């Protein structure tokens, strides 16, 4: 499915983008926030990759491995979202203190 391939490429691009921002950042809370964002993007990448496998092949092994990829990707994305949501207020406070 071309649409899933497009989403896979976009999510992997966001993962690379956030990892580059993570490496370039010097503020610790901003780094943790960016790490959460990159975890969400990587989780979406893995989940979409597993979903795409369902449409490409139709074997029992593919369904098992694809299901594992979807499960791990969703768990990683959820955990990354929780990390991001937790660190956003601290990153905002850290940025405001850096301006002063």
Domain containing 49 equals: 2-99
**Helix (H) or strand (E) run with residue 78 in it:** helix 60-99
pLDDT digits (tens, 9 = 90+) for 4-29: 999 999 999 999 999 999 999 999 99
Rounded to an integer, what distance in angstroms lies between the CA atom of residue 31 and that of residue 13?
18
- Beta-carbon-side half-sphere exposure of residue 62 (alpha carbons within 13 Å): 10
Determine the pLDDT at residue 57.
85
Query: pLDDT class for 2, splitting at 50, 70, 90?
Result: confident
Query: For 51-100, how does the pLDDT look when each residue is reduced to its tens digit (9 = 90+)?
Result: 999 988 889 999 999 999 999 999 999 999 999 999 999 999 999 988 87
Q: What is the pLDDT of residue 98?
A: 86
Q: Which two tokens stand for residue 94?
A: 């850290």
- Domains in the chain: how many in total? 1
Sequence length of the chain is: 100
Cβ partners under 8 Å of residue 66, min gap 6: 50, 51, 53, 54
């Amino acid at each position: 499915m071309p649409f899933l391939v497009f989403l896979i490429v976009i999510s992997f691009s966001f993962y690379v983008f956030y990892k580059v921002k993570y490496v370039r950042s010097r503020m610790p809370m901003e780094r943790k926030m960016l790490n959460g964002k990159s975890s969400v993007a990587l989780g979406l990448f893995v989940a979409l990759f597993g979903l795409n496998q369902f449409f490409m092949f139709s074997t029992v092994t593919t369904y098992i491995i694809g299901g594992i990829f979807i499960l791990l990707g969703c768990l990683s994305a959820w955990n990354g979202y929780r990390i991001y949501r937790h660190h956003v207020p601290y990153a905002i406070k850290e940025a405001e203190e850096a301006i002063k």
